């Protein structure tokens, strides 16, 4: 396994992050345990979850599964950089979601109980809360940091200017602020190249792309359909929208001799701003298959071909649309 520092921190994390969103709704606890054990054996040390994962509102099913796995001992907790999130509604109460100081406090305590740990290594805001001032958010996060319950703070689904606003106030408060950003980023979704990635690079945030395979779009969907395997309706609809691109992409992957999913991951890993794509395996085989992505070297010619199939903005803002 390869490792990289998370943004400007001294924390070293694996180049692949294990996403756990499927644990509970799609993957049984037994299979989830096997996946997490194998991930550790592969050298993956960054595990990502969220309080809202699991399919049952307010129960934190996925966090509970991860917590029971950690409770088995054997050095599991010590070897894992544990990341979870706060923001989503965990109940019907008016303060059981978002980023008020009250909810951050309650949500963190609840996540700690479910995860059966005394601290969260990376506590991430799952979305920006436009109705809560940064003074309040940082006050709450600083308190959790002083208590040793949170070591690092990250964001998810932030715009570039949200990162700037957060970091500038954190600087005024002599607090480290954000160390990572989780963004939707893959070959067919490159909007973050305009402003989010430049903001991450400027402020020293590690980028953790979620849905690196576009929800299955870049995972060899045409080959799967040829085998007679059914695909979800939403993915089928997206395929029709991008069919010409996907056909060209899978042809290129065949020429390269690599599975499309691994080429998509390798493309992200070639971006110096990316710390670790978040993979979300439903099965052990899916996890094992991702190992090959780390060994793929994409030449400039291949990168140019990929960019021709899936053109991004070309440059960061404003040069992407102005002079």
Does 123 participate in catalysis according to the annotation?
Answer: no
Q: With helix as H, strand as E and coil as C, how does the chain read?
A: CCEEECCCCCCEEECCEEECCCECCCECHHHHHHHHHHHHHHCCCEEECCCCCCCCCCCCHHHHHHHHHHCCCCCHHHHCEEEEEECCCCCCCCCCCCCCHHHHHHHHHHHHHHHCCCCEEEEEECCCCCCCCHHHHHHHHHHHHHCCCEEEEEEECCCHHHHHHHHHHHHHCCCCCEEEEEEECECCECHHHCCHHHHHHHHCCEEEEECCCHHHCCCCHHHHHHCCCCCCHHHHHHHHHHHHHHHHHHHHHHHHCCCHHHHHHHHHHCCCCECCCEECCCCHHHHHHHHHHHHCCCCHHHHHHHHHHCCCCCCCCCCCCCC
Query: Which of the residues 3, 53, 87, 203 is marked catalytic?
Result: 53
Catalytic residues: 53
């Amino acid at each position: 396994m390869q490792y990289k520092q998370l943004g400007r921190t001294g924390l070293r994390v694996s180049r692949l992050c294990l996403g756990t969103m499927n644990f509970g709704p799609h993957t049984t606890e037994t299979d989830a345990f096997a996946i997490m054990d194998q991930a550790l054996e592969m050298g993956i040390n960054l595990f990502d979850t969220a309080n809202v994962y699991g399919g049952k509102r307010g129960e934190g099913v996925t966090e509970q599964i991860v917590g029971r796995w950690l409770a088995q001992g054997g050095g599991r907790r010590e070897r894992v950089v544990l990341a979870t999130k706060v923001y989503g509604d965990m109940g019907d109460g008016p303060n059981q979601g978002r980023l008020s100081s009250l909810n951050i406090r309650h949500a963190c305590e609840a996540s700690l109980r479910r995860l059966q740990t005394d601290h969260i290594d990376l506590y991430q805001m799952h979305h920006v809360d436009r109705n809560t001032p940064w003074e309040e958010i940082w006050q709450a996060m600083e308190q959790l940091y002083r208590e040793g319950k949170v070591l690092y703070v990250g964001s998810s689904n932030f715009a570039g200017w949200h990162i700037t606003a957060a970091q500038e106030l954190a600087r005024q408060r002599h607090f480290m602020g954000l160390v990572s950003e989780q963004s939707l980023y893959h070959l067919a979704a490159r909007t973050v190249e305009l402003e989010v990635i430049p903001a991450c690079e400027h402020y020293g945030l590690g980028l953790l792309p979620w849905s690196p395979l576009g929800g299955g779009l870049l995972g060899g969907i045409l080959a799967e359909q040829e085998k007679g395997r059914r695909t979800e309706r939403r993915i089928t609809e997206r395929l029709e929208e991008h069919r010409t691109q996907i056909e060209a992409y899978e042809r290129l992957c065949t020429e390269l001799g690599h599975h499309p999913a691994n080429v998509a991951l390798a493309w992200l890993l070639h971006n110096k701003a990316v710390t670790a794509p978040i993979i979300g395996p439903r099965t052990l085989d899916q996890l094992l298959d991702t190992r090959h992505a780390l060994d793929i070297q994409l030449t400039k010619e291949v990168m140019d071909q990929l960019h021709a199939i899936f053109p991004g903005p070309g440059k960061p803002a404003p040069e992407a649309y102005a002079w």
